[in-house]
């Protein structure tokens, strides 16, 4: 993934993943999952103190298909390249939706 991202102009080296914590569902307004398995795990962390809106990234961001982000891990290089393009579409849709909602449109 790092190589495919680098080819598209993104440097992922400074970024590191971490486990989502229950506190994140209180501290953040929006938590988006890549697939339904992740979504179920996030929903298990919910408590009465949780205030975050939880959803799948792609549909929430206006990407109709696919609903879930495909895992390119077991495929070839083309799958990683397609993943970069798909996340670009998803993030573009996410930004457009956030801008629209923040402006009240």
| pTM (two decimals) | 0.87
pLDDT reported for residue 104: 80
The two three-digit tokens of residue 69, written as one number = 């982000």
Pairing of strands 30-33, 53-56: parallel
Q: Give per-residue pLDDT as tens, 3-24.
A: 999 999 999 999 999 999 999 9
Q: Which two tokens stand for residue 50?
A: 């949780």
Separation CA 3–CA 30 (nearest Å): 29
pLDDT tens string 60-104: 999 999 999 999 999 999 999 999 999 999 999 999 999 999 988
CA dist list (Å): 100 to 15, 34, 40, 96, 105: 28, 22, 28, 6, 5
* pLDDT tens, residue by residue, 30-60: 999 999 999 999 999 999 999 999 999 999 9
CB 80 within 8 A of CB 45: no
Residue 105 has pLDDT above 70, yes or no: no
SS (H, E, C) 3-33: HHHHHCCCCCCCCCCCCCCCCHHHHCCEEEE
């Amino acid at each position: 993934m790092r190589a495919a991202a680098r080819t598209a102009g993104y440097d992922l080296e400074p970024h590191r993943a971490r486990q989502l914590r229950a506190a994140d569902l209180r501290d953040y307004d929006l938590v988006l999952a890549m697939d339904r398995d992740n979504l179920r795990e996030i929903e298990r962390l919910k408590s009465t103190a949780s205030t975050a809106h939880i959803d799948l990234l792609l549909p929430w961001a206006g990407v109709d298909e696919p609903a879930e982000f495909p895992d390119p891990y077991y495929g070839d290089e083309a799958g990683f390249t397609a993943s970069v393009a798909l996340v670009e579409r998803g993030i573009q849709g996410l930004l457009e939706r956030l801008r629209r909602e923040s402006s009240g449109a």
